[in-house]
Amino acid sequence: MVVEKAFAKRLPWAGWTYSFAKKRKVYGMHIVVVLWCSQDGRWRIPVAFRLWRPKRTCAPHRYQTKLQLAARILTELVAARLPFAYLVADTHYTAGWLTRLAGRLGVTWVGTLPPRTTVVLRGRRQQAAELAARLRLGWRPRLGLRAAVVTVYAPKYGMLRLVVTRNRHGNYEYLATNELTADLARVVARKQSRWNVETIFRDTKQYAGLGACQCWTDAAMVRHVALVLVAFVVLQQLRVDPSEPIAAVKQRWQLAIIRQSELPPPPLNARLFTSAQCDEQLRLEEMRRIDRQAAAASTGRC
């Protein structure tokens, strides 16, 4: 998760990092976060996060990359016995040594491989993009794309179940998992479930004030991120229906606080008038005002 801070030059947590949303490098704060999502899509709960710190603001022996932060989080979650069925990550976090660590921890993972990843199929060593061009992709009507699945060996990853997909725009995607018995539909569905992670980035920034913190100290920044993620969970808890958007929940409770538990006033009994009717109504009101003034003047003379 990238929180852009274009003018926060004195913030120790800010630095130049690549934003996949804007397809360019931005100056901001990078947060490594892990979400626990329910299978029905109702709950998206952040269970752990780490703030990435650039090299310029920390001692050389204490610097950690984003992958190293993710590895620490994964190890802690497994040690805490957090129940989950699988781990899904984007291309950046589908690194060879990180996925091997997940395999040693007994975690089933699903990720996206770069096109230049070296794979071996039937004794032939080639890149994933070259293999995709040779595979015969069949149309999958339930998924709305063309796809094929094979079991390959990747020197950096080990044995993988590789799913190659091509959408209607002709773009290829190389999905991989260490579950060698997984079928094509399961791998694609698990990868698509990562969209819940993208929505929490948007919701925490727009409705929970993730980018609103202007502090400089380390402790304040960590507390702000933690409280924002807690507020996001509370907003989910306050939903009256599982399908209610987070924005509607926040608006409903803001109105409730403004009204101080008072009911809104009843609607006014108003009549609609045309332009001509308005002119006539104003003329009658003016005549009544003149009559009142004349009556008051005559009473004064008497």
Which whole number is the average pLDDT over 50-79? 89
Mean pLDDT of the chain: 85
pLDDT at 220: 85
Residues in CB range of 14: below 8 A, 6 or more apart: 5, 8, 27, 28, 29, 54
- Candidates 44, 25, 180, 60; CA nearest to 110 is 180
H-helix segments, the chain: 66-79, 96-104, 128-134, 184-192, 195-207, 218-237, 246-259, 275-301
- DSSP result, 32-74: EEEEEE-TTS--EEEEEEEE---GGGS-GGG---HHHHHHHHH
User: Does residue 238 lie within any of the structural domains?
Assistant: no
CA distance 13 to 15: 7
Six-digit token string for 119: 């794979």
Whole-prediction pTM value?
A: 0.75
Which whole number is the average pLDDT over 100-128? 92
Helix, strand, coil % (nearest 5) of the chain? 40, 25, 35
End of a domain among 137, 158, 193?
193
Residue with token string 């704060």: 29
End of a domain among 178, 193, 208?
193
User: Does residue 227 lie within any of the structural domains?
Assistant: no
User: Does residue 296 lie within any of the structural domains?
Assistant: yes
User: Does residue 275 lie within any of the structural domains?
Assistant: yes
Same domain, yes or no, for 189 and 276?
A: no
Which whole number is the average pLDDT over 213-225? 83
What is the residue range of 298's domain?
Answer: 271-302
Return the higher-pLDDT residue of 261 and 85: 85
Which whole number is the average pLDDT over 168-189? 90
What are the distances in angstroms from CA 261 to CA 115, 246, 248? 57, 21, 18
Q: What percent of the chain has pLDDT over 70?
A: 95
DSSP class of 17:
E
- Candidates 95, 89, 87, 71; CA nearest to 20 is 89
End of a domain among 126, 158, 193?
193
Residues 230-272 pLDDT 10s = 999 999 988 888 888 888 888 888 888 877 767 767 776 666 6
Residue with token string 């149309």: 139
Six-digit token string for 28: 């901001």
User: Is residue 95 scored above 60 in pLDDT?
Assistant: yes
pLDDT at 273: 64
User: Does residue 17 lie within any of the structural domains?
Assistant: no
pLDDT at 120: 93
Q: How many domains does the chain have?
A: 2
User: Does residue 221 lie within any of the structural domains?
Assistant: no
User: Does residue 129 lie within any of the structural domains?
Assistant: yes
Same domain, yes or no, for 189 and 95?
A: yes
User: Does residue 101 lie within any of the structural domains?
Assistant: yes
